[in-house]
Amino acid sequence: MTTKSWLFTSESVSEGHPDKVCDRISDAILDAFLAEDPHSRVACETLATTDHVTIAGEVRGPNSVRQQVEEIARAAIRDIGYDQKGFSWRTCAVNNLLHEQSADIAQGVDEGDKGEEGAGDQGIMFGYACSETPELMPMPILVAHRVLRLMAEDRKSGVQTGFGPDAKSQVTLRYEGGKPVAVDTVVVSTQHAEELTTAEVRALVEPYVAKAMPEGWGVSSDMKLIVNPTGRFVIGGPDGDAGLTGRKIIVDTYGGAAPHGGGAFSGKDPTKVDRSAAYISRYLAKNVVASGVAEKCQIQLAYAIGVPEPVALYVDTLGTGQADEDQIAATLRELVKMTPRGIRTHLDLLKPIYARTAAYGHFGREPDADGGFSWERTDLAAEIASRFGASAAAT
Protein backbone atom coordinates (compact mmCIF):
# COMPACT_ATOMS: atom_id res chain seq x y z
CA MET A 1 0.00 0.00 0.00
CA THR A 2 1.29 3.45 -0.89
CA THR A 3 2.43 5.81 1.88
CA LYS A 4 2.00 8.83 -0.36
CA SER A 5 -0.12 11.77 0.85
CA TRP A 6 -2.20 13.96 -1.44
CA LEU A 7 -5.22 16.25 -1.69
CA PHE A 8 -8.19 15.40 -3.89
CA THR A 9 -11.15 17.65 -4.69
CA SER A 10 -14.69 17.12 -5.98
CA GLU A 11 -17.50 19.58 -6.57
CA SER A 12 -21.28 19.47 -6.59
CA VAL A 13 -24.02 21.86 -7.65
CA SER A 14 -27.53 22.25 -6.27
CA GLU A 15 -30.79 21.50 -8.05
CA GLY A 16 -31.13 25.25 -8.64
CA HIS A 17 -27.88 25.54 -10.58
CA PRO A 18 -28.78 26.58 -14.18
CA ASP A 19 -27.47 23.34 -15.71
CA LYS A 20 -29.31 21.26 -13.11
CA VAL A 21 -32.55 23.12 -13.80
CA CYS A 22 -32.17 21.92 -17.39
CA ASP A 23 -31.34 18.36 -16.34
CA ARG A 24 -34.43 18.31 -14.13
CA ILE A 25 -36.75 19.57 -16.87
CA SER A 26 -35.36 17.06 -19.38
CA ASP A 27 -35.76 14.16 -16.96
CA ALA A 28 -39.24 15.28 -15.90
CA ILE A 29 -40.30 15.18 -19.56
CA LEU A 30 -38.70 11.73 -19.93
CA ASP A 31 -40.63 10.50 -16.88
CA ALA A 32 -43.88 11.81 -18.32
CA PHE A 33 -43.34 9.85 -21.54
CA LEU A 34 -42.38 6.65 -19.71
CA ALA A 35 -45.39 6.95 -17.42
CA GLU A 36 -47.69 6.97 -20.45
CA ASP A 37 -45.74 4.49 -22.57
CA PRO A 38 -42.74 2.63 -21.09
CA HIS A 39 -41.38 2.05 -24.60
CA SER A 40 -41.20 5.73 -25.49
CA ARG A 41 -37.98 6.97 -27.05
CA VAL A 42 -36.78 10.29 -25.68
CA ALA A 43 -33.69 12.42 -26.25
CA CYS A 44 -34.63 15.72 -24.64
CA GLU A 45 -32.36 18.75 -24.31
CA THR A 46 -33.14 21.93 -22.39
CA LEU A 47 -31.65 25.43 -22.45
CA ALA A 48 -32.51 28.00 -19.79
CA THR A 49 -31.67 31.69 -19.58
CA THR A 50 -33.30 34.84 -18.25
CA ASP A 51 -37.05 34.10 -18.06
CA HIS A 52 -36.78 31.66 -20.96
CA VAL A 53 -36.64 27.89 -21.45
CA THR A 54 -36.18 26.11 -24.79
CA ILE A 55 -36.78 22.36 -25.02
CA ALA A 56 -35.56 20.47 -28.08
CA GLY A 57 -34.79 16.94 -29.16
CA GLU A 58 -36.23 13.77 -30.64
CA VAL A 59 -39.06 11.70 -29.20
CA ARG A 60 -41.27 8.80 -30.11
CA GLY A 61 -44.21 8.53 -27.77
CA PRO A 62 -47.72 9.72 -26.95
CA ASN A 63 -48.76 13.04 -28.47
CA SER A 64 -50.64 13.78 -25.26
CA VAL A 65 -47.32 14.16 -23.43
CA ARG A 66 -45.95 16.58 -26.04
CA GLN A 67 -48.92 18.79 -25.34
CA GLN A 68 -48.01 18.86 -21.63
CA VAL A 69 -44.36 19.86 -22.07
CA GLU A 70 -44.81 23.48 -21.00
CA GLU A 71 -46.78 22.44 -17.92
CA ILE A 72 -44.13 19.84 -17.01
CA ALA A 73 -41.34 22.42 -17.32
CA ARG A 74 -43.13 24.97 -15.17
CA ALA A 75 -43.86 22.36 -12.49
CA ALA A 76 -40.19 21.38 -12.35
CA ILE A 77 -39.07 25.02 -12.03
CA ARG A 78 -41.66 25.60 -9.32
CA ASP A 79 -40.53 22.57 -7.33
CA ILE A 80 -36.90 23.69 -7.50
CA GLY A 81 -38.02 27.01 -6.05
CA TYR A 82 -37.67 29.67 -8.75
CA ASP A 83 -40.19 32.49 -8.47
CA GLN A 84 -37.86 35.47 -8.71
CA LYS A 85 -37.51 38.47 -10.96
CA GLY A 86 -35.62 37.24 -14.02
CA PHE A 87 -36.63 33.59 -13.71
CA SER A 88 -39.98 32.39 -12.45
CA TRP A 89 -42.10 29.33 -13.11
CA ARG A 90 -45.01 31.72 -13.56
CA THR A 91 -43.57 34.09 -16.16
CA CYS A 92 -40.79 32.36 -18.09
CA ALA A 93 -41.39 31.67 -21.78
CA VAL A 94 -41.29 27.97 -22.68
CA ASN A 95 -40.42 27.08 -26.27
CA ASN A 96 -41.18 23.44 -27.18
CA LEU A 97 -39.17 22.23 -30.19
CA LEU A 98 -39.45 18.46 -29.63
CA HIS A 99 -39.88 16.48 -32.86
CA GLU A 100 -40.03 12.89 -34.10
CA GLN A 101 -37.06 10.59 -33.62
CA SER A 102 -34.92 10.12 -36.73
CA ALA A 103 -36.00 7.10 -38.76
CA ASP A 104 -32.33 6.30 -39.42
CA ILE A 105 -31.60 6.10 -35.70
CA ALA A 106 -34.81 4.17 -35.03
CA GLN A 107 -33.96 1.44 -37.54
CA GLY A 108 -30.62 0.87 -35.86
CA VAL A 109 -32.13 0.62 -32.40
CA ASP A 110 -35.35 -1.28 -33.13
CA GLU A 111 -35.24 -5.05 -32.93
CA GLY A 112 -36.01 -5.70 -36.62
CA ASP A 113 -34.53 -8.97 -37.86
CA LYS A 114 -31.63 -8.87 -35.39
CA GLY A 115 -33.65 -10.61 -32.69
CA GLU A 116 -32.47 -7.98 -30.20
CA GLU A 117 -32.52 -4.19 -29.98
CA GLY A 118 -29.28 -2.48 -30.88
CA ALA A 119 -27.47 0.15 -28.84
CA GLY A 120 -28.80 3.66 -29.39
CA ASP A 121 -25.34 5.03 -30.13
CA GLN A 122 -21.68 4.11 -30.19
CA GLY A 123 -19.62 5.08 -27.19
CA ILE A 124 -17.76 4.15 -24.04
CA MET A 125 -19.22 4.08 -20.53
CA PHE A 126 -17.52 3.73 -17.16
CA GLY A 127 -18.59 2.48 -13.76
CA TYR A 128 -16.67 2.75 -10.51
CA ALA A 129 -16.87 1.75 -6.87
CA CYS A 130 -14.50 1.88 -3.92
CA SER A 131 -14.54 1.00 -0.24
CA GLU A 132 -13.99 4.56 1.05
CA THR A 133 -17.60 4.93 2.20
CA PRO A 134 -20.57 2.67 3.08
CA GLU A 135 -22.10 3.76 -0.24
CA LEU A 136 -18.95 2.43 -1.99
CA MET A 137 -18.33 5.86 -3.48
CA PRO A 138 -15.41 8.29 -3.33
CA MET A 139 -15.83 10.37 -0.20
CA PRO A 140 -15.20 13.88 -1.63
CA ILE A 141 -18.17 13.82 -4.02
CA LEU A 142 -20.51 12.36 -1.38
CA VAL A 143 -19.67 15.12 1.12
CA ALA A 144 -20.02 17.80 -1.57
CA HIS A 145 -23.47 16.47 -2.50
CA ARG A 146 -24.52 16.18 1.14
CA VAL A 147 -23.77 19.82 2.00
CA LEU A 148 -26.02 21.11 -0.78
CA ARG A 149 -28.75 18.54 -0.28
CA LEU A 150 -29.08 19.41 3.40
CA MET A 151 -29.24 23.12 2.55
CA ALA A 152 -31.87 22.52 -0.13
CA GLU A 153 -34.05 20.38 2.14
CA ASP A 154 -34.27 23.14 4.74
CA ARG A 155 -34.76 25.84 2.10
CA LYS A 156 -37.66 23.99 0.49
CA SER A 157 -39.30 23.08 3.81
CA GLY A 158 -39.17 26.70 4.96
CA VAL A 159 -36.78 26.01 7.84
CA GLN A 160 -34.10 28.18 6.19
CA THR A 161 -35.38 31.17 4.22
CA GLY A 162 -31.99 32.83 3.71
CA PHE A 163 -30.86 30.52 0.91
CA GLY A 164 -31.78 30.79 -2.75
CA PRO A 165 -32.00 27.76 -5.07
CA ASP A 166 -28.62 28.21 -6.80
CA ALA A 167 -25.54 26.87 -5.03
CA LYS A 168 -22.20 25.11 -5.53
CA SER A 169 -19.93 23.21 -3.18
CA GLN A 170 -16.36 21.95 -3.39
CA VAL A 171 -14.70 19.54 -0.97
CA THR A 172 -10.96 18.81 -0.70
CA LEU A 173 -9.88 15.79 1.35
CA ARG A 174 -6.41 14.75 2.43
CA TYR A 175 -5.48 11.17 1.61
CA GLU A 176 -2.76 9.17 3.33
CA GLY A 177 -1.84 5.63 2.35
CA GLY A 178 -4.65 5.65 -0.19
CA LYS A 179 -7.35 6.45 2.40
CA PRO A 180 -9.17 9.73 3.17
CA VAL A 181 -8.14 10.97 6.61
CA ALA A 182 -9.26 14.61 6.92
CA VAL A 183 -11.15 17.45 5.28
CA ASP A 184 -8.74 20.14 4.12
CA THR A 185 -11.01 22.73 2.47
CA VAL A 186 -14.74 23.23 1.86
CA VAL A 187 -15.99 25.91 -0.52
CA VAL A 188 -19.69 26.84 -0.63
CA SER A 189 -21.19 29.50 -2.86
CA THR A 190 -24.90 29.99 -2.34
CA GLN A 191 -27.53 32.35 -3.63
CA HIS A 192 -28.98 34.24 -0.68
CA ALA A 193 -31.59 36.75 0.42
CA GLU A 194 -30.66 40.29 -0.56
CA GLU A 195 -30.58 41.66 2.98
CA LEU A 196 -27.98 39.17 4.26
CA THR A 197 -24.34 40.16 4.73
CA THR A 198 -21.45 37.87 3.77
CA ALA A 199 -20.82 37.14 7.45
CA GLU A 200 -24.48 36.23 7.97
CA VAL A 201 -24.44 33.88 4.97
CA ARG A 202 -21.35 32.17 6.34
CA ALA A 203 -23.05 31.69 9.70
CA LEU A 204 -26.02 30.08 7.94
CA VAL A 205 -23.81 27.73 5.94
CA GLU A 206 -21.52 26.52 8.75
CA PRO A 207 -23.99 24.12 10.45
CA TYR A 208 -24.73 22.38 7.14
CA VAL A 209 -21.04 21.81 6.47
CA ALA A 210 -20.63 20.35 9.96
CA LYS A 211 -23.65 18.07 9.52
CA ALA A 212 -22.38 16.83 6.15
CA MET A 213 -19.07 15.57 7.54
CA PRO A 214 -18.44 11.81 7.55
CA GLU A 215 -19.50 10.09 10.76
CA GLY A 216 -16.91 10.58 13.48
CA TRP A 217 -14.99 13.29 11.65
CA GLY A 218 -16.58 16.51 12.89
CA VAL A 219 -15.18 19.89 11.81
CA SER A 220 -11.46 20.18 12.48
CA SER A 221 -9.88 23.48 13.49
CA ASP A 222 -7.47 22.90 10.62
CA MET A 223 -10.28 22.77 8.04
CA LYS A 224 -10.58 25.81 5.81
CA LEU A 225 -14.15 26.96 5.06
CA ILE A 226 -14.65 29.45 2.22
CA VAL A 227 -18.18 30.82 1.77
CA ASN A 228 -19.25 33.06 -1.14
CA PRO A 229 -15.70 34.19 -1.93
CA THR A 230 -16.92 36.80 -4.43
CA GLY A 231 -19.18 38.33 -1.78
CA ARG A 232 -22.72 39.05 -2.94
CA PHE A 233 -24.70 36.25 -4.68
CA VAL A 234 -28.30 37.43 -5.02
CA ILE A 235 -28.84 37.05 -8.77
CA GLY A 236 -28.77 33.30 -9.37
CA GLY A 237 -30.07 30.50 -11.52
CA PRO A 238 -30.66 30.92 -15.26
CA ASP A 239 -31.02 34.68 -14.75
CA GLY A 240 -27.38 34.81 -13.67
CA ASP A 241 -25.95 32.25 -16.07
CA ALA A 242 -27.44 30.22 -18.91
CA GLY A 243 -27.96 26.49 -18.33
CA LEU A 244 -27.84 23.44 -20.58
CA THR A 245 -28.71 19.78 -20.13
CA GLY A 246 -25.71 17.51 -19.61
CA ARG A 247 -23.01 19.99 -18.63
CA LYS A 248 -22.38 18.54 -15.15
CA ILE A 249 -21.39 14.97 -16.02
CA ILE A 250 -18.58 14.78 -13.44
CA VAL A 251 -20.91 16.05 -10.73
CA ASP A 252 -23.36 13.34 -11.84
CA THR A 253 -20.83 10.51 -11.49
CA TYR A 254 -17.70 10.20 -9.34
CA GLY A 255 -16.43 13.74 -8.90
CA GLY A 256 -13.39 13.14 -11.06
CA ALA A 257 -12.17 10.11 -9.09
CA ALA A 258 -12.88 7.83 -12.07
CA PRO A 259 -13.10 8.28 -15.85
CA HIS A 260 -16.28 9.35 -17.62
CA GLY A 261 -17.14 8.16 -21.10
CA GLY A 262 -18.38 11.60 -22.12
CA GLY A 263 -22.08 11.01 -22.64
CA ALA A 264 -24.59 12.82 -20.43
CA PHE A 265 -27.54 11.07 -18.76
CA SER A 266 -30.47 13.42 -18.29
CA GLY A 267 -33.28 13.48 -20.84
CA LYS A 268 -32.31 10.11 -22.37
CA ASP A 269 -34.48 7.01 -22.22
CA PRO A 270 -32.76 3.73 -21.26
CA THR A 271 -32.30 2.52 -24.85
CA LYS A 272 -29.51 5.11 -24.88
CA VAL A 273 -26.44 3.31 -23.57
CA ASP A 274 -24.92 6.64 -22.52
CA ARG A 275 -27.27 6.27 -19.59
CA SER A 276 -28.21 2.62 -19.14
CA ALA A 277 -24.72 1.20 -19.71
CA ALA A 278 -23.23 3.73 -17.27
CA TYR A 279 -25.80 2.51 -14.74
CA ILE A 280 -25.01 -1.17 -15.30
CA SER A 281 -21.29 -0.41 -15.14
CA ARG A 282 -21.73 1.21 -11.73
CA TYR A 283 -23.93 -1.71 -10.63
CA LEU A 284 -21.32 -4.28 -11.63
CA ALA A 285 -18.41 -2.36 -10.12
CA LYS A 286 -20.32 -1.85 -6.87
CA ASN A 287 -21.16 -5.53 -6.60
CA VAL A 288 -17.53 -6.51 -7.19
CA VAL A 289 -16.42 -4.25 -4.32
CA ALA A 290 -19.34 -5.30 -2.12
CA SER A 291 -18.33 -8.93 -2.65
CA GLY A 292 -14.92 -8.37 -1.09
CA VAL A 293 -13.13 -9.39 -4.29
CA ALA A 294 -11.59 -5.89 -4.59
CA GLU A 295 -11.39 -2.61 -2.69
CA LYS A 296 -11.73 -0.66 -5.93
CA CYS A 297 -13.24 -1.59 -9.27
CA GLN A 298 -13.45 0.32 -12.53
CA ILE A 299 -15.44 -1.04 -15.46
CA GLN A 300 -15.54 0.12 -19.06
CA LEU A 301 -18.19 -0.94 -21.58
CA ALA A 302 -18.08 -0.04 -25.27
CA TYR A 303 -20.91 -0.21 -27.82
CA ALA A 304 -21.54 0.27 -31.53
CA ILE A 305 -24.80 1.84 -32.70
CA GLY A 306 -27.33 -0.77 -33.77
CA VAL A 307 -25.26 -3.66 -32.30
CA PRO A 308 -26.83 -5.33 -29.24
CA GLU A 309 -23.82 -6.84 -27.47
CA PRO A 310 -21.06 -4.61 -26.11
CA VAL A 311 -17.97 -4.71 -28.29
CA ALA A 312 -15.80 -4.71 -25.15
CA LEU A 313 -15.92 -5.15 -21.37
CA TYR A 314 -12.86 -4.16 -19.35
CA VAL A 315 -12.46 -4.73 -15.59
CA ASP A 316 -9.69 -3.01 -13.61
CA THR A 317 -9.40 -3.54 -9.85
CA LEU A 318 -6.64 -0.91 -9.66
CA GLY A 319 -4.21 -3.16 -7.82
CA THR A 320 -6.70 -4.11 -5.08
CA GLY A 321 -8.16 -7.31 -6.53
CA GLN A 322 -8.05 -10.81 -5.07
CA ALA A 323 -8.96 -12.47 -8.37
CA ASP A 324 -7.92 -12.38 -12.01
CA GLU A 325 -9.64 -9.47 -13.75
CA ASP A 326 -10.39 -11.47 -16.90
CA GLN A 327 -12.14 -14.06 -14.74
CA ILE A 328 -14.12 -11.34 -13.00
CA ALA A 329 -15.17 -9.99 -16.41
CA ALA A 330 -16.22 -13.46 -17.58
CA THR A 331 -18.28 -13.93 -14.41
CA LEU A 332 -20.03 -10.58 -14.87
CA ARG A 333 -20.94 -11.53 -18.45
CA GLU A 334 -22.50 -14.73 -17.10
CA LEU A 335 -24.49 -12.94 -14.42
CA VAL A 336 -25.84 -10.01 -16.47
CA LYS A 337 -26.80 -9.73 -20.13
CA MET A 338 -25.34 -6.41 -21.20
CA THR A 339 -27.42 -5.73 -24.29
CA PRO A 340 -29.63 -2.63 -24.05
CA ARG A 341 -32.67 -4.83 -23.45
CA GLY A 342 -30.78 -7.03 -20.99
CA ILE A 343 -29.72 -3.97 -18.98
CA ARG A 344 -33.22 -2.49 -18.95
CA THR A 345 -34.69 -5.80 -17.85
CA HIS A 346 -32.12 -6.51 -15.14
CA LEU A 347 -32.37 -3.02 -13.63
CA ASP A 348 -36.07 -2.53 -14.48
CA LEU A 349 -35.43 0.82 -16.12
CA LEU A 350 -38.63 1.38 -18.13
CA LYS A 351 -40.20 3.40 -15.33
CA PRO A 352 -40.63 7.12 -14.54
CA ILE A 353 -37.72 7.14 -12.07
CA TYR A 354 -35.37 9.71 -13.57
CA ALA A 355 -36.29 13.22 -12.39
CA ARG A 356 -34.98 12.31 -8.92
CA THR A 357 -31.55 11.58 -10.40
CA ALA A 358 -31.12 15.06 -11.86
CA ALA A 359 -29.39 16.55 -8.79
CA TYR A 360 -27.01 15.33 -6.07
CA GLY A 361 -25.58 12.48 -8.11
CA HIS A 362 -26.77 9.42 -9.98
CA PHE A 363 -24.66 7.13 -7.79
CA GLY A 364 -24.23 6.49 -4.09
CA ARG A 365 -27.96 6.79 -3.43
CA GLU A 366 -30.28 4.35 -1.66
CA PRO A 367 -32.40 2.14 -3.96
CA ASP A 368 -36.05 3.22 -3.86
CA ALA A 369 -38.99 0.89 -3.28
CA ASP A 370 -40.46 1.81 -6.69
CA GLY A 371 -37.27 0.81 -8.53
CA GLY A 372 -35.42 4.11 -8.54
CA PHE A 373 -31.64 3.80 -8.25
CA SER A 374 -31.92 0.06 -8.87
CA TRP A 375 -28.30 0.17 -10.06
CA GLU A 376 -27.26 0.76 -6.44
CA ARG A 377 -28.37 -2.71 -5.33
CA THR A 378 -25.71 -5.19 -4.24
CA ASP A 379 -27.73 -8.33 -4.95
CA LEU A 380 -24.93 -9.95 -6.98
CA ALA A 381 -22.29 -9.58 -4.28
CA ALA A 382 -22.85 -12.93 -2.58
CA GLU A 383 -22.71 -14.82 -5.88
CA ILE A 384 -19.53 -13.04 -6.96
CA ALA A 385 -17.98 -13.75 -3.56
CA SER A 386 -18.85 -17.44 -3.83
CA ARG A 387 -17.21 -17.68 -7.25
CA PHE A 388 -13.92 -16.32 -5.95
CA GLY A 389 -13.88 -17.41 -2.32
CA ALA A 390 -14.19 -13.86 -0.99
CA SER A 391 -16.28 -12.58 1.92
CA ALA A 392 -19.22 -10.51 0.73
CA ALA A 393 -19.15 -7.06 2.29
CA ALA A 394 -22.68 -6.20 1.18
CA THR A 395 -25.17 -5.30 3.84
* 60 annotated as ligand-binding: no
* 296 annotated as ligand-binding: no
Alpha carbons 320 and 336: distance in angstroms, whole number: 23
* 17 annotated as ligand-binding: yes
For 393, other C-beta atoms within 10 Å of its C-beta total: 17
* 247 annotated as ligand-binding: yes
Q: E strands of the chain, at which residues?
A: 5-13, 41-49, 52-60, 83-84, 87-88, 93-100, 123-130, 163-176, 179-192, 224-227, 243-244, 296-303, 312-316
* 166 annotated as ligand-binding: yes
* 45 annotated as ligand-binding: yes
Task: Write out the DSSP string of 62-76.
Answer: -HHHHTTHHHHHHHH
* 179 annotated as ligand-binding: no
* 152 annotated as ligand-binding: no
10 Å CB burial of residue 395 (0-12, 13-18, 19+) is: exposed
Can you tell me whether residue 94 is helix, strand or coil?
Answer: strand
Report the catalytic residues: 17, 19-20, 45, 58, 168, 233, 241-242, 247-248, 268, 272, 274
* 268 annotated as ligand-binding: yes
Helix, strand, coil abundance in the chain, percent, nearest 5: 35, 25, 40
Residue 160 · residue 151 · CB < 8 Å: yes
* 27 annotated as ligand-binding: no
Give the residue from 61, 145, 138 showing the smallest Cα distance to 106: 61
* 333 annotated as ligand-binding: no
Sign of CA dihedral 244, 28, 99, 102: positive
Structure letter (DSSP) for residue 113? G
* 101 annotated as ligand-binding: yes
10 Å CB burial of residue 106 (0-12, 13-18, 19+) is: middle
Cα 371 to Cα 61, 196, 374: the distances in Å are 22, 41, 5
Alpha carbons 26 and 72: distance in angstroms, whole number: 10
* 167 annotated as ligand-binding: yes
* 19 annotated as ligand-binding: yes
10 Å CB burial of residue 287 (0-12, 13-18, 19+) is: buried
Residue 14 · residue 253 · CB < 8 Å: no
Report the binding-site residues for ATP: 17, 166-168, 232-233, 241, 247-248, 264, 268
Report the binding-site residues for L-methionine: 58, 101, 241, 272
Report the binding-site residues for Mg(2+): 19
